[in-house]
């Protein structure tokens, strides 16, 4: 989703309520954070449902949603805004964070540790009781409109090796752990999202559990719910099961011959 895309309540995905199956107390905790004006941190592996959860909560709370994918080139100006040169002079243009602060939107910074420290620092005054965004370049201090909430996501397993959030940043958030859903729930999600039948969905979830245990053998990224849905969709569209598992699950995860071989064996053991 582009940084500029706004999902208005009730207008997300062709007007539908985003489908989200809770796996713990996250809905209630998020509601309380929203009511108490607390920033929220969603922790969990890639593809486990963090983005979908925020989309659902924005719809549920009736707030617009502004999503900002973070990366290491993201500057404070990309978040806050910049002067644009026009034929008759310069004009200030708000960035997505400033728009969210003015509109009282939920602002979701996806994979926040990817952003540089000097970019993350601009969030600090928004996460405490001040709820302000100082814009140095214009001299304006924007006070967050009611309903504004900062939400960040973070994949601890993946990023621990390279980067981490500073304690001074972490302590500004209420954290919610969102791991892959339990088998029965993940099966329901795969069925709902791909249209696959229960037997195929359940078998794919079983396969995912087996592949996830290869983490101990060096598999850095394990199959996400998202990959299971993609694989189930391939099967639903007529791709033979084992080919679909290779293209949808195995190949995206690793190039390492021994790990790929081990995953093939698990596919053969699951779909005999």
What is 108-150 written as a DSSP string? EEETGGGS-HHHHGGGHHHHSTT-EEEETTTTEEEEPPTT-EE
What CA–CA distances, in Å, run from 206 to 61, 143, 170, 187, 268? 34, 49, 35, 9, 12
Closer to ligand ADP by Cβ: residue 49 or 223: 49
Q: Kindly tell me which residue out of 12, 49, 81, 95 binds ligand ADP, with binding defined by CB under 6 A.
A: 49
Q: Kindly tell me which residue out of 12, 39, 41, 52 binds ligand ADP, with binding defined by CB under 6 A.
A: 52
What is 9-53 written as a DSSP string? TTTHHHHPPPP----SSHHHHHHHHHHTT-EEEEE--TTSSHHHH
12 lies in the site for ligand ADP, by CB under 6 A: no
Closer to ligand ADP by Cβ: residue 77 or 185: 185
Window 136 to 165, contacts with ligand ADP (CB under 6 A):
none
Q: Kindly tell me which residue out of 12, 81, 96, 181 binds ligand ADP, with binding defined by CB under 6 A.
A: 181
Select from 85-93, 95-103, 144-152, 223-231 the region that touches ligand ADP (CB under 6 A): 223-231
Q: Kindly tell me which residue out of 7, 20, 66, 196 binds ligand ADP, with binding defined by CB under 6 A.
A: 20
CB 14 within 8 A of CB 51: no
Q: Kindly tell me which residue out of 67, 127, 169, 225 binds ligand ADP, with binding defined by CB under 6 A.
A: 225
Window 191 to 220, contacts with ligand ADP (CB under 6 A):
193
187 lies in the site for ligand ADP, by CB under 6 A: no
Which residue is nearest to ligand ADP, using beta carbons?
A: 49
Residue carrying structure tokens 């919610």:
176
Alpha helices in 179-256, H assignment, sequence order: 183-194, 198-212, 225-236, 241-245, 251-253
CB 114 within 8 A of CB 154: no
Closer to ligand ADP by Cβ: residue 101 or 178: 178
**Separation CA 144–CA 127 (nearest Å):** 10
- Count of residues engaged in binding ligand ADP, rule: CB under 6 A: 18
| b/e per residue 4-31 (b: at least 16 CB within 10 A) | eebbeeeebeeeeebebeebeebbeebe
43 lies in the site for ligand ADP, by CB under 6 A: no
Q: Kindly tell me which residue out of 37, 116, 226, 242 binds ligand ADP, with binding defined by CB under 6 A.
A: 226
Q: Kindly tell me which residue out of 48, 144, 230, 263 binds ligand ADP, with binding defined by CB under 6 A.
A: 48
CB 98 within 8 A of CB 126: no
First to last CA, the chain: 39
67 lies in the site for ligand ADP, by CB under 6 A: no
CB 63 within 8 A of CB 104: yes
Select from 16-24, 76-84, 204-212, 258-266 the region that touches ligand ADP (CB under 6 A): 16-24
Select from 46-54, 137-145, 167-175, 205-213 the region that touches ligand ADP (CB under 6 A): 46-54
Binding site for ligand ADP (CB under 6 A): 19-21, 23, 44, 46-52, 181, 189, 193, 225-226, 229
């Amino acid at each position: 989703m582009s940084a500029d895309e706004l999902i208005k309540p009730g207008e997300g995905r062709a007007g539908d309520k985003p489908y989200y199956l809770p796996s713990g107390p996250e809905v209630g905790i998020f509601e309380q954070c929203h009511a108490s004006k607390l920033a929220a941190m969603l922790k969990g592996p890639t593809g486990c449902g963090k983005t979908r959860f925020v989309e659902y909560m924005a719809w549920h709370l009736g707030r617009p949603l502004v999503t900002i994918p973070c990366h290491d080139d993201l500057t404070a100006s990309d978040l806050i805004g910049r002067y644009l040169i026009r034929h008759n002079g310069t004009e200030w243009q708000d960035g997505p964070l400033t728009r969210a602060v003015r509109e009282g939107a939920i602002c979701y910074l996806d994979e926040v540790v990817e952003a540089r420290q000097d970019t993350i620092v601009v969030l600090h005054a928004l996460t405490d009781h001040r709820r302000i965004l100082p814009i140095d370049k214009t001299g304006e201090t924007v006070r967050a409109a009611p309903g504004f909430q900062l939400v960040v996501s973070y994949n601890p397993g993946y990023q621990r090796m390279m980067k981490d959030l500073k304690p001074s940043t972490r302590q500004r958030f209420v954290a919610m752990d969102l791991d892959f859903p339990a088998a029965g729930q993940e099966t329901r999600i795969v069925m709902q999202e791909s249209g696959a039948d229960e037997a195929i969905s359940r078998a794919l979830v079983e396969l995912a559990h087996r592949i996830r245990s290869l983490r101990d053998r060096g598999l850095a990224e394990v199959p996400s719910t998202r990959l299971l849905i993609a694989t189930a969709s391939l099967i639903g569209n007529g791709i033979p099961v084992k080919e679909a598992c290779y293209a949808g699950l195995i190949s995206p995860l690793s190039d390492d011959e021994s790990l790929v071989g081990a995953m093939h064996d698990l596919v053969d053991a699951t779909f005999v």
